[in-house]
Structure 1
Amino acid sequence: MKRNRKVKILATLGPASAEEEMIQKLHEAGADLFRINMSHASHDVMRTMIQRIRAVEARCGRPIGILADLQGPKLRVGKFAEGKVDLVPGQTFTLDNKDEPGDDKRVFLPHPEILEAVRPGHRLLIDDGKLSLRAEKCDGKSIVCTVVSGTRISDRKGVSLPDTLLPVGALTPKDHADLDAVLETGEVDWVALSFIQRPEDLADVRKVARGRVGLMSKIEKPQAIERIDEIIELSDALMVARGDLGVEMPLETVPGLQKQLIRACRKAGKPVVVATQMLESMITAPVPTRAEVSDVATAVFEGADAIMLSAESASGAYPVEAVSTMASIATTVEREPHYPGIIYAQRPQPEATGADAISLAARQIAETLKLTSIVCYTATGTTGLRAARERPQVPIIALSPSTPTARRLSVVWGLHCVIEQDANDLEDMVNRACRIVAAEGFGKPGDRIIISAGVPLGTPGSTNLLRIAYIGSDGLSGI
């Protein structure tokens, strides 16, 4: 299945898209990988979804990535005697450790770590910021607050703490159990980590994962922004989680942060996903708003690796239409006359490594000679990542003997992944590349391609060779 676009689409599965037939329709409409939200999926549901995705993968003959999104620490207030209370800006309202129904003066906060960490002046945002409180007095057992804005609070609403660094790790007991279940399947390619605050959060998870999955850090807290370079270095990929990020930080700062994060990831050669409310209106409508189309287009123009659908594909009324609409927007943007120039202007300088130098040369040669495609042999995925970092105008075909590597690369910009055994020698390497380019629809007899690989063949991390070849009439090299 040949895609006519370079940005990838990540679709969330849920009640509207859990059946195997629907998963296949979403894949055919343009979804390159699928997200399983562990906030809502039990272990049995997760395993069933994986089986269905892999069945679709087998029928379609394309590697499909799977992302398991861990819930992370969900902070919520307790319950109220009447279910909800009305408040007035300027009044005093207390969150405390008394496990009793709340009223218009106080409510139980079942998170001692918050009671101990909040300091006077810190903000507490309830129910996605609909109620804003400012801490006035803190004694480790209660937080006496002033209501800044908002007039209502009800049972079990979420609490966000944009000014407070919480002394908790990225994994809750539920997350540990979910991660163990995910790793046991051996079929999940990425794990998304919610509410990352510091690089140490990633180090803890990496000890558990031991390289069995890629780690995708969801950036949704100000504390993560403050240490973003360290977090990117320890992450395998990033997700710009604009929902919670827009609660914890002023809404008007989110577009700028999105651009900064995409460019930082491109510089580091790490995949970056833009997520949340991209086609939100398509949960209930068959077409998006004009603003949503522009939002998707902006992420594509910025060179994001992937764009994500959440409730649109998980629980919306039009999951297939949402995927096909997103694919159509991305394809159209990438054909815009200004698109290559914008992508080129944002291209980072290559790092001083052999793989980066080879990838830079491959792009320059391909674009100068107007070659049909770039073919890279990649066992671990590193060569594929470096090739994508260059954002070439021509397609990149990534050949890998490793099924997990090919699946993991499904999130990476511009990579068309094919599972293929290592070549026996240089002639076999060129012939295989020409045959696959022709078979996958990226070239025809007489077209020229450029191949990057490592010698000795099959040696990870040894990318050191470029070869130009043209496709012969038999689909093999015409050299």
Structure 2
Amino acid sequence: MKRNRKAKILATLGPASSSSNIIEAMFIAGCDVFRLNFSHDDIENHRKNVERIRSLEKKYDHSTCVLADLQGPKLRIGIFKNNEEELKKGNTFQLDLNNDQGDQKRVNFPHPEIYENLTPNTILLVNDGRIRLQIIEQGKDFLITEILNDGIISNNKGVNIPDVILPIDSLTSKDKSDLNKALDMGVDWVALSFVQQAEDIIKIKKLIKNKALVMAKIEKPSAVKNIDTILEVADGIMIARGDLGVEMPTEKVPIIQKNIINRCRFFGRPVVVATQMLESMITNFVPTRAEASDVANAIYDGTDAVMLSGESAIGKHPIESVNVMNNIIESVEKDKDNFDLENEEKKFKRKINNTDAITNAAYSIARNAEAKAIITFSVSGQTTMRMAKERAPVQIIGLSPNLTTSRKMQLVWGVNSCHTEDAHNTTDMVKIACTTAKNKQLVKPDDNIIITAGVPFGNAGSTNL
């Protein structure tokens, strides 16, 4: 199935979209990657959705991609006698380990492992920042805070702590259980929530053991600060603007988005822009003009993919949400000024290896020879991802004898990912490349194409041709 665009679309499955008919319709409308949100729904529903997604592969001769998004360590307060309380600016409010129900003076905050790190002047944001508290006194089992604004505080609301790297594992016991089940389902990507530093990614990779690629969700200031070291070890990045917008000033989020996309380009890592992209389509049939501009600007910035969350999971119009996003991307990519690659190349210079040299050359040849496609043979997908980094103006056809690799590459910018037989020699390589491109109607007769591969064939990481 050929897409008429290079940027990809992720769509979250949920109550509004967890049926074979809806999933197939979203796939046809343009969904490239299906996201399973392990913060919601039960394991059996996720398992059934994976089966529904994989059933499309044979019908459409097109690899599908599934991303499992783990919940992560979310901090929460306890419950109140009256379910909620009104807090007044200037008053004090205590968080403690007492299990009694809360009132206007205090509430349970059942996270003893972090109390020592929460020193005076630390800011706590409750309920997505609607309540701001500043610590004025710290104890081993209590925190006395000053209320910085009037507001309502209620049961089990989340707490964000922007300026502190917390001594908590990025994987909860629930996450570890969900991870094992997701890997058993055969998911292609795993997204790790609330990443703070590179070590968080290293830990989960040890558990995954190359069974899936790992995407770091950037939603904390500490992750923004450590973005380069995280990029060194992560396979991809998701800019999760929801929690990021809570923990950082709202006006800084667009700048951070642009900067992270640029860093991902430099490191050759796929990047996803997520959260509230077409939020109004949860209820409305058309998005706001501001939302359309938000999606368009992410494409202009050079993101690999944009993501639908509530729009496709719980919204009234999951299929139309995908269709609208698809149309916006196609419209932007028709703009001749969409992506000025040469200006980007001048900004980013780094030491290159053999694969870099081959892909650079392939891009240059494709541009000068007016080729219609660059075809990459890749067992691991690394050459295909490296080619996508170039943001070549022609389509990239990623061929792999490894079905899991073919599935993973569906997330990557500009890649038409195809599962094929392996080539045994150069003649095989050319035949498979031309036959696949022709059968899938990705090129026309007499079109020029560029092919990259590695000799000997079938060995990962050996791109030299």
User: Is the structural similarity TM-score above 0.5?
Assistant: yes
For the 8 Å contact 1:25–1:320, the answer to whether it is kept is yes
Structure 1 residues 399 and 93 mapped into 2: Cα distance closer, same or farther (>3 Å)?
Answer: same
- CA deviation string 1:93-120 (max 9, x = no partner): 1111110011111111111123232110
- CA deviation string 1:115-153 (max 9, x = no partner): 232110000000000000000000121110011123210
Q: Given the two structures, how large is their TM-score scaled by the length of structure 2? A: 0.98
State how 1:31-180 maps to structure 2 within 5 Å: 31-180=31-180
SS in 1 for 2:110: coil
Letter in 1 for 2:323: S
SS in 1 for 2:148: strand
1:428 shift after superposition: 1.9
1:255 shift after superposition: 0.4
Task: Structure 1: give runs of 5+ residues left out of the alignment.
Answer: 466-479
- Name the CA distance, whole Å, in 2 between partners of 1:335 and 1:63: 26
Structure 1 residues 340 and 261 mapped into 2: Cα distance closer, same or farther (>3 Å)?
Answer: closer
Partner of 2:233: 234
1:455 shift after superposition: 1.5
1:439 shift after superposition: 1.6
1:228 shift after superposition: 1.2
Does 2:397 match 1:397?
A: yes
- Name the CA distance, whole Å, in 2 between partners of 1:345 and 1:295: 23
- CA deviation string 1:300-350 (max 9, x = no partner): 011111100000000100001100000000011000021132x44224446
- Name the CA distance, whole Å, in 1 between partners of 2:349 and 2:5: 24
Q: Given the two structures, how large is their TM-score scaled by the length of structure 1? A: 0.95
Letter in 1 for 2:210: G
SS in 1 for 2:461: coil
- Name the CA distance, whole Å, in 1 between partners of 2:456 and 2:123: 58
For the 8 Å contact 1:373–1:394, the answer to whether it is kept is yes
- Name the CA distance, whole Å, in 2 between partners of 1:376 and 1:160: 44
- Name the CA distance, whole Å, in 1 between partners of 2:272 and 2:173: 26
SS in 2 for 1:278: coil
- Name the CA distance, whole Å, in 1 between partners of 2:150 and 2:455: 64
Structure 1 residues 115 and 338 mapped into 2: Cα distance closer, same or farther (>3 Å)?
Answer: same
1:55 shift after superposition: 1.1
SS in 1 for 2:375: strand
State how 1:19-418 maps to structure 2 within 5 Å: 19-185=19-185, 187-341=186-340, 343-347=341-345, 348-349=348-349, 351-418=351-418
- Name the CA distance, whole Å, in 2 between partners of 1:129 and 1:242: 14
- Name the CA distance, whole Å, in 2 between partners of 1:386 and 1:191: 20
- Name the CA distance, whole Å, in 2 between partners of 1:455 and 1:207: 30
Letter in 2 for 1:74: K
State how 1:3-14 maps to structure 2 within 5 Å: 3-14=3-14
SS in 1 for 2:464: strand
For the 8 Å contact 1:350–1:360, the answer to whether it is kept is no
**Count of residues paired in the alignment:** 463
Letter in 2 for 1:264: R
For the 8 Å contact 1:96–1:115, the answer to whether it is kept is no
1:61 shift after superposition: 1.4
1:86 shift after superposition: 0.6
Partner of 1:473: none
- Name the CA distance, whole Å, in 2 between partners of 1:161 and 1:340: 37
For the 8 Å contact 2:302–2:339, the answer to whether it is kept is no
The root-mean-square deviation of aligned C-alpha atoms, in Å, is 1.1
1:41 shift after superposition: 2.4
1:438 shift after superposition: 1.6
- Name the CA distance, whole Å, in 2 between partners of 1:404 and 1:211: 11
Letter in 2 for 1:231: I
For the 8 Å contact 1:116–1:141, the answer to whether it is kept is no
- CA deviation string 1:240-263 (max 9, x = no partner): 000000001111110000011111
- Name the CA distance, whole Å, in 1 between partners of 2:162 and 2:34: 30
Partner of 1:470: none
1:235 shift after superposition: 0.4
Letter in 1 for 2:426: L
1:351 shift after superposition: 3.9
| Runs of 4+ residues deviating >4 angstroms | none
1:75 shift after superposition: 1.0
Task: Structure 2: give runs of 5+ residues left out of the alignment.
Answer: none
SS in 1 for 2:94: strand
SS in 2 for 1:81: coil
- Name the CA distance, whole Å, in 1 between partners of 2:148 and 2:350: 48
1:169 shift after superposition: 1.1
- Name the CA distance, whole Å, in 2 between partners of 1:182 and 1:344: 40
Partner of 1:451: 451
Letter in 2 for 1:14: G
- Name the CA distance, whole Å, in 2 between partners of 1:381 and 1:63: 14
For the 8 Å contact 2:94–2:143, the answer to whether it is kept is yes
Letter in 2 for 1:194: S
Structure 1 residues 340 and 117 mapped into 2: Cα distance closer, same or farther (>3 Å)?
Answer: closer
- Name the CA distance, whole Å, in 2 between partners of 1:142 and 1:151: 22
For the 8 Å contact 2:376–2:453, the answer to whether it is kept is yes
- Name the CA distance, whole Å, in 2 between partners of 1:321 and 1:349: 41
Letter in 1 for 2:382: T
1:182 shift after superposition: 1.1
Letter in 2 for 1:394: V
